[in-house]
Structure 1
Amino acid sequence: MKKHAVIIGGGLGGLSAAIKLQATGWQVTLLEKNNDVGGKLHEVVIGSHHFDFGPNTITMPHVFREVVQDAGENPDDYFTFEKLDVHTKNVFADRSSFYFSSEKERMKEELLKLDPFAADKYEDYLMEVENLYSLARQHFFHRTFSSWKDYLSLPLAKAMARVKPLTTLDAFHQQFFKDARVRYAFNRYATYIGSSPYTTPATFGLIGHLELVDGVYFTRGGNHRIALGFLKLAKKLGVTLLTNTEVTKLEVKDQRIVAAITDKEQRITGDKFILNGDLLTQFPRLVDKQHRPHFSLKHVQPSISAFVIMAAMKTRLDLHHHHVFFGENPKREFTQLFDDQKFGDDPTIYICTSSKTDETLSPDGDNLFILVNAPPLSADLNEKREPSFVIKERIYDQLEKRGLAIRDNVVNDITVDPTTIAAKFHAFRGSLYGIASNRKRDTFLRPYNAAKDISNLYFVGGSTHPGGGSPMVVLSGSNVARKILSG
Structure 2
Amino acid sequence: MSKNAIIIGSGIAGLATAIRLKAKNYDVSVFEANESPGGKLSRLESNGYTFDAGPSLFTLPSLVDELFEISGEKPDENFKYYKKNIHCQYFFNDGTKFTAWDDQDKFINEITEVFKINAKSVLEYLDKSKRKYELTSPLFLERSLHKVNSFLNFNTLKAIASANNLDLFDTLDEVNRHHFKDPRLVQLFNRYATYNGSSPYKTPGIMSMIPHLEFNVGTFYPEGGMYSITDSLYALAKKKGVKFNFNSPVDRIICKNGVVEGIITKNEEHSADLVVSNMDIVPTYRKLMPDQKAPEKTLSQERSSSALIYYWGIRKQFPELDLHNIFFSGNYKKEFTDIFDHKKVPDDPTIYINITSKEDPEHAPEGCENWFVMVNVPPNSGQNWDEMISITKKRIISRLNKFLDADIEKLIETEEMLTPITIESKTSSYMGALYGAGSNDRNAAFLRHPNFSSKIKNLYFCGGSVHPGGGIPLCLQSAKIVSSLV
Output one character per residue of 1:115-155: Cα deviation in whole Å (capped at 9) or x when no partner. 33353311111210110111133323221244578557685
Is contact 1:292-1:453 (8 Å) kept? no
Is contact 2:135-2:155 (8 Å) kept? no
- The question of 1:308 aligning with 2:321 is answered no
* Local SS of the residue matching 1:360: helix
1:336-485 matches, within 5 Å, as: 336-364=338-366, 365-378=368-381, 381=382, 383-387=383-387, 388-402=389-403, 403-484=405-486
Determine the structure 2 residue equivalent to 1:235.
238
* Local SS of the residue matching 1:107: helix
* Local SS of the residue matching 2:252: strand
* Local SS of the residue matching 2:247: coil
Greater displacement, 232-241 / 276-285: 276-285
Instruction: Name the aligned partner's letter for residue 457 of structure 1.
Output: L
Is contact 2:314-2:369 (8 Å) kept? yes
In structure 2, C-alpha distance between the alignment counterparts of 1:201 and 1:122, rounded to whole Å: 20
In structure 1, C-alpha distance between the alignment counterparts of 2:157 and 2:224, rounded to whole Å: 42
* Local SS of the residue matching 2:431: helix
Is contact 1:446-1:465 (8 Å) kept? yes
In structure 2, C-alpha distance between the alignment counterparts of 1:42 and 1:294, rounded to whole Å: 30
1:244–1:316 CA distance, 2 compared to 1 (3 A): same
Output one character per residue of 1:170-221: Cα deviation in whole Å (capped at 9) or x when no partner. 1222243211111111111100100011111122212211101111111110
In structure 1, C-alpha distance between the alignment counterparts of 2:8 and 2:353, rounded to whole Å: 32
| Displacement after TM superposition at 1:313 (Å) | 1.6
1:251-290 matches, within 5 Å, as: 251-262=254-265, 264-289=266-291
| Displacement after TM superposition at 1:482 (Å) | 2.1
Determine the structure 1 residue equivalent to 2:107.
107
| Displacement after TM superposition at 1:390 (Å) | 3.7
Output one character per residue of 1:48-70: Cα deviation in whole Å (capped at 9) or x when no partner. 21111121110101111111111
Determine the structure 2 residue equivalent to 1:74.
74
Is contact 2:283-2:430 (8 Å) kept? yes
Is contact 1:115-1:177 (8 Å) kept? no
Determine the structure 2 residue equivalent to 1:203.
206
* Local SS of the residue matching 1:140: helix
Is contact 1:78-1:230 (8 Å) kept? no
* Local SS of the residue matching 1:98: strand
Is contact 1:118-1:176 (8 Å) kept? no
Is contact 1:30-1:240 (8 Å) kept? yes
| Displacement after TM superposition at 1:164 (Å) | 2.4
Task: Give the counterpart of 2:225 among 206, 222, 227.
Answer: 222
* Local SS of the residue matching 1:182: helix
| Displacement after TM superposition at 1:20 (Å) | 0.9
Structure 1: gaps of 5 or more residues: none
Output one character per residue of 1:209-247: Cα deviation in whole Å (capped at 9) or x when no partner. 110111111111011101110000000000010011100
Is contact 2:140-2:445 (8 Å) kept? no
Is contact 2:146-2:450 (8 Å) kept? yes
Is contact 1:147-1:448 (8 Å) kept? no
Determine the structure 2 residue equivalent to 1:163.
166
In structure 1, C-alpha distance between the alignment counterparts of 2:391 and 2:334, rounded to whole Å: 22
1:294–1:89 CA distance, 2 compared to 1 (3 A): closer
In structure 2, C-alpha distance between the alignment counterparts of 1:243 and 1:298, rounded to whole Å: 28
Aligned sequence identity (%): 34
* Local SS of the residue matching 1:274: strand
In structure 2, C-alpha distance between the alignment counterparts of 1:231 and 1:307, rounded to whole Å: 28
- The question of 1:28 aligning with 2:28 is answered yes
Task: Give the counterpart of 1:212 among 215, 218, 232.
Answer: 215
Instruction: Name the aligned partner's letter for residue 304 of structure 2.
Output: S
Is contact 2:192-2:208 (8 Å) kept? yes
| Displacement after TM superposition at 1:158 (Å) | 4.9
Output one character per residue of 1:311-348: Cα deviation in whole Å (capped at 9) or x when no partner. 01222124221111111111110111111111111110
1:27-46 matches, within 5 Å, as: 27-46=27-46
Output one character per residue of 1:337-392: Cα deviation in whole Å (capped at 9) or x when no partner. 111111111110000111112212223310000000011112xx5x4334333432
* Local SS of the residue matching 2:14: helix
In structure 1, C-alpha distance between the alignment counterparts of 2:195 and 2:304, rounded to whole Å: 10
Is contact 2:21-2:483 (8 Å) kept? yes
In structure 1, C-alpha distance between the alignment counterparts of 2:268 and 2:157, rounded to whole Å: 45
| Displacement after TM superposition at 1:445 (Å) | 3.2
In structure 2, C-alpha distance between the alignment counterparts of 1:337 and 1:480, rounded to whole Å: 33
Instruction: Name the count of aligned residue pairs.
Output: 479
Determine the structure 1 residue equivalent to 2:12.
12
Determine the structure 2 residue equivalent to 1:247.
250
Is contact 2:348-2:395 (8 Å) kept? no
Is contact 1:86-1:102 (8 Å) kept? yes
Q: Cα RMSD (Å) of the superposition?
A: 1.8
Instruction: Name the aligned partner's letter for residue 406 of structure 1.
Output: I
Is contact 1:294-1:452 (8 Å) kept? no
Greater displacement, 308-317 / 396-405: 396-405
Is contact 2:40-2:53 (8 Å) kept? yes
| Displacement after TM superposition at 1:113 (Å) | 2.7
